[in-house]
Structure 1
Amino acid sequence: MISVEHITKKFKKLYALDDVSASFHKGQVVSLIGPNGSGKTTLIKSILGIVQPDGGTIRFSGQAISNQYQYRDQIGYMPQIGRYPDNMTIGQVIDMIKNIRNNAGARLDEELLESYNMQALLGKNMRSLSGGTRQKVSAVLAFLFDPDVLILDEPTAGLDPLATEILKDKIMAEKEKGKLILITSHILSDLDELTTDVMYLQDGRLRLYQPIEELKELTGESRLGRAIAAVMKSGYTQLQPTPGAIIKNMEVHYA
């Protein structure tokens, strides 16, 4: 459904993305993992068309996205930090997004709005909200149009435990519908039960991309955090397998 082909992006002399290629398909929940500055957010923003790569091609449903924007109607995006007009209320922000999408006939998914009991808060100005409540607004907006693709950048950051579990349940429900979901998070325990595939980026390069169950089996670890730690400890991050590569004894073999 989405493919990135030899994507490169530099900021001054720093490579944020260095010849990254990968494909993402419906039914996958891909966890994008890596240290700060590894290229995760740059990759997400490139897929969304917010960042223009210096080289390579990104395709959505087979069509190159360069200078195209309509495809984004099929994507729900939850940014790491949601920035909204401070003088607007929550309700006004939601109405604004509905108007921007110009999709009055679309089926709206307001389940999170109800789950977070936010109806009573719709009249509150954005400037008065806590970080956690702003994050809830971002979550509501991401799922609002029942999109085919969800891109969630650090979705649980700032959420309390109950709000986190509500959001994880919602992501699991969308996973069961067969949607494509891309998630970044530093809290690997939040990803364990959600993830079907793991993508590990470091220094802008793709170091690992494979199903989570294979990764756990090959590292002998039952938890994602420990499996990634085992990979890093092994020095495997010095290799650069392509998607579909299988790790055996920390060497790369191709099916």
Structure 2
Amino acid sequence: MITIEHITKKFKKLHALDDVSAAFRKGQVVSLVGPNGSGKTTLIKSILGIVQPDAGQIYFNSKPIQSEVAYRDKIGYMPQIGRYPDNMTIGQVISMIKNIRNHGTRKLDEELIEQYGMHALMEKNMRSLSGGTRQKVSAVLAFLFDPEVLILDEPTAGLDPLASEILKEKIMREKEKGKLILITSHILADLDELTTDVMYLQDGKLRLYQSIGKLKELTGEERLGRAIASVMKSGYVQPTEQSGAIVKSMEVRYA
């Protein structure tokens, strides 16, 4: 579904991404993990077309994203920090995004609106909201259009335990539908039940991309957090030839 070929991006002297190649397919829940500044957010923004790589190419359903901007309609994005007009209410923001993206034909997924009790908050101004409530708005908008792909950047950050659990259960249901889901999180315990594959970035380089089962076998650890800590301590780098069908010569593009 999404193929990344030799992506490189520099910000002045900082190498945010350094020759990163990978492919993501339907049914995967890929946890993008790594230290701060490892390139996770730059990779996400490159997929979304927000950041333009210096070199390399990204394909969505075999088409270069630069020539097929409509691919963004198939993605639901939840940023780490949602930024919305302060003078608008929650209801106005949701209505505005519906008008921009829905085109009057798309079936809406309003499950999180119900589960988060958002109907009672629709008249609240965005400027008055807590960080957790803003995060709920971002979650609602990410899932609202029933997208084929979900990209969730620190989705549980700022959420209380109940709201976080509601969101994780929602992600599980979307996983069961066979959607492609990319998640970043520093709270690795949140990812244990969700993850099918792990991509570990460090200093802009792809250090490891494995199924969760293979990662646990490689490290001898059952919990994702411990497995990643083991990789970080060991300085392990996955040889390209061991990446199998996911990171090979990229002759096959997943659809």
Interval of TM-score (by shorter of Structure 1 and Structure 2): over 0.9
The amino acid across from 1:89 in the alignment is T
- SS of corresponding position for 2:201: strand
Q: CA deviation at 1:66?
A: 1.3
- SS of corresponding position for 1:66: helix
Instruction: Return 5+ residue gaps in structure 2 as ranges.
Output: 245-255
TM-score normalised per structure 1: 0.93
Between the two structures, name the one with larger relative contact order (CA 8 Å, sep ≥ 6): 2
The aligned counterpart of 2:55 is 55
Distance in 2 between the 1:159 and 1:133 partners? 8
Task: Give the RMSD, CA atoms, in angstroms.
Answer: 1.1
Distance in 1 between the 2:66 and 2:160 partners? 38
The aligned counterpart of 2:133 is 133
Deviations 1:118-160 (A, max 9, x none): 1000011000000000000000000000000000000000000
The amino acid across from 1:56 in the alignment is G
Instruction: Return 5+ residue gaps in structure 1 as ranges.
Output: 247-255
Identity %: 81
Q: CA deviation at 1:235?
A: 2.2
Question: Contact 1:22 / 1:243 at 8 angstroms: preserved in 2?
Answer: no
Distance in 2 between the 1:231 and 1:165 partners? 28
The aligned counterpart of 2:8 is 8
The aligned counterpart of 1:202 is 202
- SS of corresponding position for 2:83: coil
- SS of corresponding position for 1:178: coil
Question: Contact 1:75 / 1:149 at 8 angstroms: preserved in 2?
Answer: yes
The aligned counterpart of 1:231 is 231
Q: CA deviation at 1:233?
A: 1.6
In the TM superposition, 1:240-255 aligns within 5 A as 240-242=238-240, 245=243
The amino acid across from 1:32 in the alignment is L
Distance in 2 between the 1:186 and 1:89 partners? 30
**Number of residue pairs matched?**
244
Q: CA deviation at 1:8?
A: 0.4
In the TM superposition, 1:83-98 aligns within 5 A as 83-98=83-98
TM-score normalised per structure 2: 0.93
- SS of corresponding position for 2:137: helix
The amino acid across from 1:155 in the alignment is P
Are positions 1:69 and 2:86 aligned together?
no
The aligned counterpart of 2:146 is 146
Distance in 1 between the 2:8 and 2:192 partners? 29
Distance in 2 between the 1:167 and 1:47 partners? 23
Q: CA deviation at 1:102?
A: 4.4
